[in-house]
Amino acid sequence: MNYNPFIIPFTTGAIILFAIIIYKFIAWYRKLDKKQRFYLRKNILTFKSIEAIKESFLEALIHRNIYKKNLLLGYMHMSLAFGWFLLIIFGKIEASLHAQTLFEEPWLAIFFRYFVRDEHKFFMSEIFPPLMDFLLLVILSGVLLAWLKRFSSSLLGMKKTTRHSKFDKIALASLWWIFPLRLLSESSTAALTGNGSFLTGTVGNLMAVLNLQYFEIYFWWAYSICLFAFFVSLPFSRYMHIPTEVVFIFLKKWGATAGEEYSGYTDFQLNACSRCGICIDVCQMNFAANIQNVQSVYFIRDTRYKHLKDETANNCLMCGRCVEACPVGLELTVIRQQLRNKKEIAGKHYYDYTKPQEADKKYDIVYFAGCMTHLTPSIIISMKKIFEEAGINYWFMDENKGTCCGRPMRQQGFIQQSKDLISINQKLINSSGAKTLVTSCPICYKSFKEEYVLDIEIKHHSEFINELIENNKIKIQNSQKSIVYHDPCELGRGSGIYEEPRNILAKVGNLKSSEFEKQNSLCCGGSLSNAIIELEDQIKIRNHALENLTACNPDILATACPLCKKTFVHGNKAKVMDIAEIIAENISLQNQSSKHKEKNKIKTKIEL
């Protein structure tokens, strides 16, 4: 048997590591909710598993998403992950070929050069030394970059990097030293036996100059101890993401989603976070308002270690910029929502005092303005004008006794309240018999689409107006004004509506682009999901966004969300208008009846 006491730290560490990981995975699996387990069973034997293997390869080993952010940062992650992965695989093949069995001593592959000192020839034995040396060199280049990143994160395209916990530091330090020590161990053995290749051979020769090769056994010991330290700290450190990310990718591909409640799937996601800190750089709280320690990486970390503070959970705009940027694809805002969950009184009905009025007859279209739109009445007036001009038989559902869609409650973690509101609205919507529901508020839109059970087509007014124009139901004229469009979070990143608003605006004016657009658009700062942010900070976020949006001095700053409109108006930077208002202003009245003329007159404000 190939044995030396220095294999003990490595072997013990590996056993502890696997035991803990298996224990944790089983515990989390048992906490998966019914829906998640259902999808797992349903899809485990389908081609979705093949997709998951492919994605695991691309993300967990190649780190494709990090390459998108920065080439060097991507290379750093890939060299460490993929390089090490290949080193293990080829090491195992080499050891198995040498031992002529698949069941050689498990540590043989790791310490192969120490135990196989002669030049015993075995099948393909001559290709391994240079290959293993090459892989080691790749990994070492990644380690060098990691050192540089600690020294100056901006070299690798990161403005800020994550601050670490105790276990992280132990794991990180051992990770840094594993490969340099492997180089020294193998090189010293190479110096003594000549079994090295271009890297270990050369370094070995250099070591021989200083007679360092006689410390061979100590280098191997140090290498083994470093592996032990890394393995034992891994399950408690950020490096738990290495095994967890793969499981997460499989669960995700099988169709699991984070529900309203904290579940085992949440645990998998919390542990799949590598704490790379990419979410810090994209967070407006960080770069516009200089608020630290609340970003997703800290939120996930604190939740995982169970010392989450209310401030960290609640001081977030839920704009979704970090979700868009996360290389692992974690459902960061949904998890935050789960953790915000206030304990409600079970079985209590919170909105008994609302007396919703059902539709008096059947309609083609239901219009739901939404609470925020009621605070911007010019949007409502514009929508009425558009509906009338298009000759639509519509029901203004929340004109008098409106009820909130429930989403703001949900985002704050009040699930029961949200459900109560949803059931009230669902009943009303169904009473209209309409085929389409139009809303002016992106928050309501997302809520109707994702949280309601409705057999009805749901459209944001930008989609609806776009269709009216395409189908020639309304005619508009081009005002020639320059317009910049601001993508509201819930409509853009939240619901993927990017083209319809631009399509409309290009027809009524001269649409200009801005620095932060579409997936990369900024939050206005007025988000309802953050109930604790200080006004001054909100203003900083708003002003920063306004500055960027109005850099080209547009005549109009257009948006498609009443909340964004209200927030930006107070910034006093540009004329802010909702898409509906812009269309209503530029509508060419086809059936210009006296009724319409009179209506327009009313709107002219009295001069006193």
Partner 1 sequence: MENKKTVLVIGAGPAGISAAKSLANDNISVTVLEKEDTFGGNINNWAKLFPNFKDAGEVKSSLIQNFVNNQNIKIVYNKKVTELKKHNQKWIANTSDGEVFESDAAILSTGFKVFDAQYKEELGYGIYPNVITSVEFEKMYKNGKILTVQGSVPKKIAFLNCVGSRDEKVGNHYCSRICCIAAVKQAIEFKELYPQSEAFIFYMDIRMAGQFYEELYRKSQEKHGVVYIRGRISETSSTIDKKVQIKAEDTLAATPLRMTVDMLVLMIGVEASKSTTILSKQNNIDGPYGFAKSKDIHTADNYSNENGLFLAGSCKRPLTLTETIADGKSAAISVVEYLKQTK
For residue 103, state whether it binds partner 1 (rule: CB under 8 A).
Answer: no
Asked if 602 interacts with partner 1 (CB under 8 A), we say yes
Q: How far is the CB of 516 from partner 1 (least distance, A)?
A: 24
CA 592 vs CA 389, 507, 589, 599: distances in Å:
9, 21, 5, 11
570 binds partner 1 (CB under 8 A): yes
Least Cβ distance, residue 381 to partner 1 (angstroms): 7
Minimum CB distance to partner 1, residue 427 (Å): 20
Amino acid (one-letter) located at 465: I
Exposure of 334 by Cβ count < 10 A (0-12 exposed, 13-18 middle, 19+ buried)?
middle
Q: What does the angle CA 178 – CA 180 – CA 184 come to, to the nearest 5 degrees?
A: 110
539 binds partner 1 (CB under 8 A): yes
Residue 496 DSSP label: -
Q: How far apart are CA 132 and CA 90, in angstroms?
A: 8
Instruction: Name which position in 312, 337, 376, 447 contacts partner 1 (CB under 8 A).
Output: 376
DSSP annotation of 356: P
Of the candidate spans 57-65, 372-380, 410-418, 543-551, the one that interacts with partner 1 by CB under 8 A turns out to be: 372-380
Instruction: Please identify, using beta-carbon distances, which residue of 279 and 577 lies nearer to partner 1.
Output: 577
Q: Is 343 in the site for partner 1 (CB under 8 A)?
A: no
Alpha-carbon gap, residue 45 to 47, rounded angstroms = 7
Give the number of residues in contact with partner 1, rule: CB under 8 A. 21
DSSP 161-214: -----HHHHHHHHHHHHHHHHHHHHHHHHHHHH----HHHHHHHHHHHHTTGGG
CB of 362 to partner 1, least distance (A): 23
Closer residue to partner 1 (CB): 371 or 549: 371
> Given candidates 47, 123, 151, 353, which one binds partner 1 under the rule CB under 8 A?
353
What's the closest the beta carbon of residue 569 comes to partner 1, in angstroms?
A: 6
Least distance from partner 1 to the Cβ atom of residue 166, Å: 41
Number of Cβ within 10 Å of residue 296's Cβ equals 26
Other beta carbons within 10 angstroms of residue 72's beta carbon come to 15
Within 446-505, the residues that bind partner 1 by CB under 8 A are: none
Tell me: does residue 375 bind partner 1 (CB under 8 A).
yes
CB burial string 235-250: b at 16+ within 10 A, e below: bbbbbbbbbbbbbbbb
- Least distance to partner 1 from the beta carbon of 378, Å? 6
Nearer to partner 1, 217 or 381 (CB): 381
Please say which residue, 502 or 542, places its beta carbon nearer to partner 1: 542
Measure CA of the first residue to CA of the last residue in the chain; give whole Å. 102
Q: How far is the CB of 605 from partner 1 (least distance, A)?
A: 6
Q: Per CB under 8 A, does 210 bind partner 1? A: no
Centre a 10 Å sphere on the Cβ of residue 383 and count the other Cβ atoms it contains: 26
Based on the shown chain and the rule CB under 8 A, indicate whether residue 605 belongs to the binding site for partner 1: yes
Residues 6+ apart with CB under 8 A from 76: 142, 145, 146, 149, 156
- Residues facing 365 on adjacent strands: 394, 436
Q: CB within 8 A of 472, min separation 6: which ones?
A: none
Smaller CB separation from partner 1, 159 or 597:
597
Comparing CB distances to partner 1, the nearer of 99 and 372 is 372
Minimum distance from residue 593 beta carbon to partner 1 (Å): 16
471: helix, coil or strand? coil
151 vs 353, which CB is nearer to partner 1?
A: 353
Residue from 71, 362, 377, 496 in contact with partner 1 (CB under 8 A): 377
Q: In whole angstroms, how close is the CB of 375 to partner 1 at the nearest point?
A: 4
**Which of residues 210 and 608 has its CB atom nearest to partner 1 in the complex?**
608
**Residue 544 touches partner 1, criterion: CB under 8 A:** no
Residue 272: which region, alpha, beta or left (left: phi > 0; alpha: psi -120 to 50)?
alpha
Q: Dihedral sign, CA of 498, 502, 503, 505?
A: positive
Task: State the nearest-atom distance from the C-beta of 67 to partner 1, in Å.
Answer: 43
Which tokens hold the place of 406?
């429930």
The reply to whether 608 sits near partner 1 by the rule CB under 8 A is: yes
Given the DSSP bridges, would you call strands 475-476 and 587-588 parallel, antiparallel or unpaired? Answer: antiparallel
Under the phi-then-psi rule, with left for phi > 0, alpha for psi from -120 to 50, and beta for the rest, what region is 410?
Answer: alpha
Judged by CB under 8 A, which of 569, 575, 589, 596 binds partner 1?
569
In the complex, minimum distance from the CB of residue 534 to partner 1, in angstroms, rounded to a whole number: 10
Instruction: Rank residues 103 and 353 by Cβ distance to partner 1 and give the closer one.
Output: 353
For 231, the token pair is 């393995």
Which of 380, 429 has the CB closer to partner 1? 380
360 lies in the site for partner 1, by CB under 8 A: no
CA distance 110 to 220: 10
| Contact window for partner 1 (CB under 8 A) among 83-91, 245-253, 454-462, 600-608 | 600-608
The correct pick among 12, 141, 205, 378 for binding partner 1 (CB under 8 A) is 378
Residues 6+ apart with CB under 8 A from 356: 401, 403, 424, 425, 427, 428
The phi and psi torsions of 542 (rounded to 5 degrees) equal -60, -50
Would you say 102 or 535 has its CB closer to partner 1? 535
In the range 396-435, which residues lie near partner 1 by CB under 8 A?
399-400
- Residue 594 binding partner 1, by CB under 8 A: no
For residue 147, the minimal CB distance to partner 1 (Å) is 47
Looking at the Cβ atoms of 273 and 372, the one nearer to partner 1 is: 372
Residue with Cβ nearer partner 1 (377 or 391): 377
For residue 476, give Cα distances in angstroms to 19, 346, 470, 554, 555. Answer: 68, 52, 11, 20, 18
When asked if residue 535 is in the footprint of partner 1 (CB under 8 A), the reply is: yes
Residue 566 binding partner 1, by CB under 8 A? yes
The residue range among 45-53, 82-90, 126-134, 566-574 that interacts with partner 1, by the rule CB under 8 A, is 566-574
Tell the smallest beta-carbon distance from residue 444 to partner 1 (Å): 16
Contact between 48 and partner 1 by CB under 8 A: the answer reads no
Helix (H, G, I), strand (E, B) or coil at 233: helix
Compute the least distance from the CB of residue 608 to partner 1, in Å: 5
Q: Which residues bind partner 1 (CB under 8 A)?
A: 353, 374-378, 380-381, 399-400, 535, 539, 566, 569-570, 602-606, 608
